[in-house]
Amino acid sequence: MIKPVLVILLTLVALGYLSRILYVYFSLLVKAKPMPDRPDIVKGVKDFFVMVLGQKKVLRWHYSGILHALIFWGFIVLFTTIVEMYGEAFSSDFVFPIIGGTKPLAFMQNLFTLLVLVGVSMALYLRIVVKPKRYEGSDHKDALVILACITGIMLTLLLMHAHRYQVGIENDVAYVKGYFASMAIAGLFRSPDTLHLVAEISYWTHLVIILFFMVWIPRGKHLHLITIIPNILLRKRYPRGKLRKMDLEDEEVEIFGANSWTHFNMKDMLDTYACMECGRCTAVCPANSTGKELDPKKLHTGIRYSAQSQKEAILKGEEEFPELLGNVFSKDFFWQCTTCGACMEECPATNDHIDKIMEVRRYMVLTEGEMKPETQQAMRSLENQYNPFNMSHSTRFDWAKELNIPSIQENPDAEYLYWVGCFGCFDDRNKKVTMDLAKIMNSAGISYALLKDEEKCTGDPARRVGNEYLFQMLAEENVETLNKYKGKKIITQCPHCFNTIGNEYPDFGGDFEIIHHTELIDHLIKNKKINLENEVAQKMTYHDSCYLGRHNDIYDAPRDALNKIKGATIQEMERSGSKSFCCGAGGGQMFMEETEGKRVNVERIEEASRTNPDVVVSNCPFCLSMFEDGKKSAGLADKFETKDLAEVVAQAMKETDELCKGE
């Protein structure tokens, strides 16, 4: 009876130690604000099967994804061996309930033991030989300890199964023949007594390593093995491009935004526990990739480890949670984010990086009254002229005076409102896009109208730089305007307007049907409302803007439209679709100076140039403007054109030189 007592005693000690650590972490977690969103458990369970069991996001990275999946799936199968290990303490021939004692299970146990070892070998090669940049800043020793533990667990398991095979064969137990690998190992031992001794040593070594592994997990990045499931179950369910609304009228609130653990909500801080420190977020970050300070992985590890380093003193009330700005991060760390969403697209733990960065920006702007100097002028212009370009609001629709496009007052029965946006109205380059889109809609016979003097900036630039007060002012005014024309569909050529009106205005009482111009154009082509009769014999590469693609999941419509153009050949960039690389303008960066590292727009336009295009096609006025500047900075001004999809389609239409009358 000594064996089962000792096994139980060791396990209870390990569980006690683990429970204490987890209790401390939970005590830290509940110091944060309550969760703002009600979890959708049904969708959470679906995500559990797809993202956790199916390893969907992990497998987006082929090499590291495969090795991680092999280890993960291996441990799911080998959970049966852990149950059997504890059962063996009481009965030497114990097998897993119901499905145990079968040849298929024995085969699977041996197979996945070997596959886990393959995964460990791949992981060691990646860490020791390849040394990806994304691993920088993580505890290398911690990873090696875990890999050593996994290796020890697998090797001792093979030896234990070798002994089980030997005993089973002697007693005519059929299922042990499924241990194909352990059978070979058993053959290496001439003496059954020797194998029995090795197996007994392996048993205790196996148990100790598993218990050590269990208590080691919380100290480093492998805490995610415990926290990733609740993190995925509780993740936010609204569109990625939507930010949480702040209650600016709450008189009891002293701090707006976040600069400390207690300023964030519990789900945000659970993200820090769930971070796998894989660095996928950092590897795809446009700011970090171009030599800037921002590191999305460090966002989570920095918050977590700064709190954990003082956890005992914090919980005793002897210390406060450290402030992030100045102690953990610089201010530029947060200003450099383009809010492109690439980090969130790749994160296997479904962590939300953007919301945290925006909360710190809100803190700097609303609580501390700080803003990037070059952004202040754009904000003043938004407040006074309802556009960020310091242009008079009265000139917003000067471009339309000779085009005979009616206002909503002139055509109150119009089916569509055309929300042009600030770039489409004020930027000379993007006015050409506006006019070509008008040509397309006129040719298709669409009944539409302009808001004219009633249209103002949606407030996206203000919200993304942290000026929530100004954003809410503009949002409320625009919602009031649009609600006067309820039932009308809204067309816009700007993904930022599309995202703000469609995803964020519902929080302010505005529930509108909004259509991006790429969707509209694709619809018109498929329904033969416009005819693309002109041949455009050019090689094109298409750029997915962040706010249309990753934030709103629109990838197919613009490609379908391009593929209908006669003579055009489409060549995808290396990073496209959900893996597209940002133009560098989002997150208010259009109105900030990029002073560190390589310019993001230059990085992207150089990538586009490697497809040897005649035309780089975009769907966003921000992107088009950045590409025009990027071509000049990269010395590629004469190499190819940059156009919006509307311009390319208008070029392919019959009689594109004739501007049809609006209705």
CATH number at residue 116: 1.20.950
Query: Among the three residues 367, 397, 429, which one is the final residue of a domain in this structure?
Result: 367
Same domain, 361 and 381: no
**Residue 437's pLDDT is what?**
97
Boundary of a domain, candidates 367, 393, 410: 367
Q: Which of 326, 348, 367 is the last residue of a domain?
A: 367
545 with 599, same domain? yes
Shared domain for 294 and 404, answered yes or no, is no
- The confidence score (pLDDT) of residue 659 equals 44
Q: Smallest Cα–Cα separation from 493: which of 579, 560, 430?
A: 430
| Residue burial 408-429, b: 16+ Cβ < 10 Å; e: rest | beebeebebbbbbbbbbbbbee
Task: Check whether residue 456 and residue 595 sit in a common domain.
Answer: yes
Let me know: does 344 contact 354? Beta carbons within 8 Å. yes
How many Å from the N-terminal Cα to the C-terminal Cα in the chain? 92
**Statement to judge: residues 423 and 560 lie in one domain:** yes
Provide the pLDDT for residue 252. 87
With respect to residue 56, please indicate whether it lies within any of the assigned structural domains. no
Answer yes or no: are the C-beta atoms of 297 and 318 closer than 8 Å: no
In a shared domain, residues 327 and 472: no
The list of the chain residues with pLDDT below 70 reads 655-663
Contact 280, 346 (CB under 8 A): yes
Q: Which residues contact 152 (CB under 8 A, 6 or more apart)?
A: 205, 206, 209
Cα separation of 470 and 472, whole Å?
A: 5
Contacting residues for 376 by C-beta, under 8 A, at least 6 apart: none
Res 660: pLDDT? 43
Residue 501 domain-assigned (yes or no): yes
pLDDT value for 38: 83
Residues 164 and 312 in one domain: no
At what angle are helices 428-443 and 621-633 packed, to 10 degrees? 140
pLDDT the model gives residue 655: 64
- Give the total number of structural domains in the chain: 3
- What CA–CA distance (Å, rounded) separates 196 from 202? 10
| Same domain (yes/no): 99, 210 | yes
DSSP character at residue 417:
E
455 with 473, same domain: the answer is: yes
By the 8 A CB rule, do 624 and 430 touch?
yes
Burial class (CB in 10 A: 0-12, 13-18, 19+), 580: buried
Question: Rounded to an integer, what is the distance from CA 57 to the centroid of its chain?
Answer: 10
Same domain for 192 and 69? yes
Q: What is the CATH number of the domain that holds 346?
A: 1.10.1060.10
* 529 domain-assigned: yes
Residues 595 and 510 in one domain: yes
Joined together, the tokens standing for residue 342 give 């690439």
Q: Considering the domain boundaries, does residue 50 fall inside one? A: no
Full domain range(s) for residue 642: 376-652
Instruction: Count CB-CB contacts under 10 A for residue 364.
Output: 20
Same domain, 507 and 625: yes
Pairing status of strand 489-492 against strand 514-516: parallel
* 571 domain-assigned: yes
